[in-house]
Structure 1
Amino acid sequence: MAELKLRGISKSFGVVPVLHDINLDIPDGSFVVFVGPSGCGKSTLLRTISGLEEPSAGSVLIGGEDVTEFDPSERGVAMVFQSYALYPHMTVEQNLGFGLRMGGMPKDQVAARVADAARVLELAPLMDRKPRQLSGGQRQRVAIGRAIVRQPKAFLFDEPLSNLDAELRVQMRIEIAKLHQELGATMVYVTHDQVEAMTLADKIVVLRDGRIEQQGSPIELYDEPDNLFVAGFIGSPRMNFLSGTIESIAGQTAQVKAQDFDGSAIAVRLRGSAAKPGDSVTIGIRPEHFVDDTTTSLTATAQVVEQLGGVSYVYATGRNDAKITIQQKGHSRIPAGSAITIGIDPAACLAFDTAGQRL
């Protein structure tokens, strides 16, 4: 396995810039997820690591070696794509070993590596089947197995679960997490699904418009987002954003009045900014941070209530059609159309300036 380093990576297609001065360290044995909306450059960045795209500037280092000019086959990485790309006329066993056989590896070594991959991915009962006889999840496991047999320095996954239905996606997330634990391999994974990012990653790299917005552990990004984009992208349902005005500041706490909701001023923790009374800010509150205590509270009108069994979501509005989502444990007793007063956990509230940066 190997550490990956990106230094000053930029990429343009003609006159269109796609990546902007990307600097990133991916430690040996880590599981790093690139996440962001469609078109943010995450797949281009992964393809640059693999050698399928040549950077316009910067360098790629794998295991301390500069591989920027190397062909993909010389970099010691294995890539798993969204498309399974299995040979339809070959069995699972033949698909797993095809690349090794074409590389001239002795038959006994090929058989040993294929058997080991089959054990790790629980493919042994399927070895004589052809791709048309497999489910989508089984085909993806074969595609991953084809990467495993190469014993690469790093695994690169480009949205590998996008073609699967919801239940299979959950199952395959578990399989990939177990695979990482067993192999201890360096893995880089691209997805637009922030739930996949939160459940799989040691470190998440959030991209927007070809730039790194923030990187860190899933919990760090969830609890301490640097800006409105990261705060809104990480978390499901997304964070609530309320327009407000700072009334007063004491130490690292600001009293902020929500403009579109009646209720008391909200105590919001600051990170040592130059905010001052009278400033317009955006308050960030996650749906689970609404509480029964009404010491700090908002009033709103419930519009729709989703009862999901173990959890309920109340979608409410204030003035000017401002919207909030409230998460409640178990069954909600709030009827749709009713006026509600809901408490807020002030310790969990965040504040962002007019440029979208965390205060």
Structure 2
Amino acid sequence: MASLRLAGLRKNFGSVNIIKGVDLEIEDGEFVVFVGPSGCGKSTLLRMIAGLEDISGGDLYIGGRLCNDIPPRERGIAMVFQSYALYPHMTVHENMGFGLSLNKTPKAELDARVREAARILKMEHLLDRKPSQLSGGQRQRVAIGRAIVRKPAVFLFDEPLSNLDAALRVDMRMELAKLHRDLGATMIYVTHDQVEAMTLADKIVVLDGGLVQQVGSPMELYKNPANKFVAGFIGAPKMNFLAVKVQAAHGGTATVASEEISPIPVRGKGFDSGDSAWLGIRPQYLKPGRAADGEGGICGKIVLIERLGTETIVAIETRANERVVASIPVDMELAFDDNAEFLFNPSAAHLFA
């Protein structure tokens, strides 16, 4: 296994800057997830680590070795793509061992490595089948097994579950988490799905516009987002943002208010009286009821009801035409166009510029 260090990494396509200077430390054995919207540069950054894209600037170290100009096959990495890329005329055994056969690995060692990978992935009974005889989840496991047999220092995954249906994605997430525990390997995983990021990662790297917005554990990012982008991207349903005015600010606390919200004190540094700001409230922190002194309250007309069994998602539209979503852990008597009121504890709210 190996650690990685990215120092000022940049990637340009002509005059277009895609990766704009990324500094990142990945420890040996960590499961790190790159997450962000389409076009943020996460797959490009992964391909730079793999050696499939040239580095325009900065340095990449894998296991302490400068790898800017090292060919992909000599970097000690294995990559699993969104596409399974299996040879249809080969068996599972032959597909998993193909890379080793190209390297002229002795037959006995090749067979032992393939069978060990099959044991880890619980697919010993599939070794003689062809890809056409496998389900989507089984084909993805073959692609992962092909990476395992190489015994790489670093595993790279580029949105490997996006071709699977919802139920299979849940199953494969559990398998990948178990694989990481069993191998203790350094893994870097790219996804646009923040649920995958939250459930798999030891450390999440949130990217937007070719820049790192925040790095931290899943709950660090959930509880203490560095900016409005991270706050809105991490968490489902996404955080509500309401336009407010700062009425007073002292130390790390700002008193804010709006047409909908009575003055309340919230955490917020770097604000001055009169500033415009965004008040962020997670849907899970909104509760039905009338706000008392010291609590925040939001009223509006119900425009959406989604009953999901364990929770009900309710959206209201305020008088200021702002939409607010609440996640309620009970089934209530609700109807479209009814007026509803939700309260929240100001200590659970966030303030963003």
TM-score, structure 1 normalization: 0.95
8 Å CA contact 1:267, 1:349 repeated in 2: no
The residue that corresponds to 1:26 in the other structure is 26
SS for the counterpart of 1:238 is coil
8 Å CA contact 1:86, 1:95 repeated in 2: yes
Residues 1:8 and 2:4 are matched in the alignment: no
Equivalent positions of 1:151-166 (< 5 A) are 151-166=151-166
Cα distance in structure 1, aligned partners of 2:281 and 2:70: 47
The residue that corresponds to 2:137 in the other structure is 137
SS for the counterpart of 1:278 is coil
Cα distance in structure 2, aligned partners of 1:249 and 1:60: 43
Equivalent positions of 1:109-258 (< 5 A) are 109-249=109-249, 251-258=251-258
The residue that corresponds to 1:357 in the other structure is none
Cα distance in structure 1, aligned partners of 2:250 and 2:338: 36
Gaps of 5+ in 2: none
2:317 alignment partner AA: T
1:117-139 deviation line (CA, Å, top 9, x unaligned)? 00100111111100000000000
8 Å CA contact 1:291, 1:345 repeated in 2: no
8 Å CA contact 2:52, 2:72 repeated in 1: yes
SS for the counterpart of 1:215 is strand
Cα distance in structure 2, aligned partners of 1:47 and 1:125: 33
8 Å CA contact 1:307, 1:332 repeated in 2: no
SS for the counterpart of 1:82 is coil
The residue that corresponds to 1:266 in the other structure is 264
Equivalent positions of 1:298-317 (< 5 A) are 298-317=298-317
Cα distance in structure 2, aligned partners of 1:233 and 1:308: 21
Cα distance in structure 2, aligned partners of 1:337 and 1:14: 53
8 Å CA contact 2:287, 2:326 repeated in 1: no
The residue that corresponds to 1:331 in the other structure is 331
Cα distance in structure 1, aligned partners of 2:262 and 2:320: 18
Bigger Cα displacement from structure 2, 153-162 vs 325-334 = 325-334
SS for the counterpart of 1:341 is strand
The residue that corresponds to 1:356 in the other structure is none
Residues 1:290 and 2:286 are matched in the alignment: yes
Residues 1:101 and 2:101 are matched in the alignment: yes
TM-score, structure 2 normalization: 0.96
1:264 alignment partner AA: S
Cα distance in structure 1, aligned partners of 2:264 and 2:95: 60
SS for the counterpart of 1:320 is coil
Cα distance in structure 1, aligned partners of 2:131 and 2:258: 57
- Shift of residue 215 of structure 1? 0.7
Task: Give runs of ≥4 in structure 1 deviating > 6 Å.
Answer: none
- Shift of residue 305 of structure 1? 1.3
SS for the counterpart of 1:95 is helix
SS for the counterpart of 2:23 is strand
- Shift of residue 299 of structure 1? 1.5
- Shift of residue 302 of structure 1? 1.2
Cα distance in structure 1, aligned partners of 2:38 and 2:251: 40
Cα distance in structure 2, aligned partners of 1:113 and 1:141: 15
Cα distance in structure 1, aligned partners of 2:163 and 2:238: 24
- Shift of residue 40 of structure 1? 0.7
Bigger Cα displacement from structure 2, 331-340 vs 49-58 = 331-340
Cα distance in structure 2, aligned partners of 1:177 and 1:147: 16
| Residues 1:20 and 1:303: Cα distance change in structure 2 (over 3 Å) | same
Gaps of 5+ in 1: 354-359
**Residue 280 of structure 1, aligned match among 255, 276, 301:** 276
1:288 alignment partner AA: Q
- Shift of residue 256 of structure 1? 1.2
- Shift of residue 250 of structure 1? 5.1
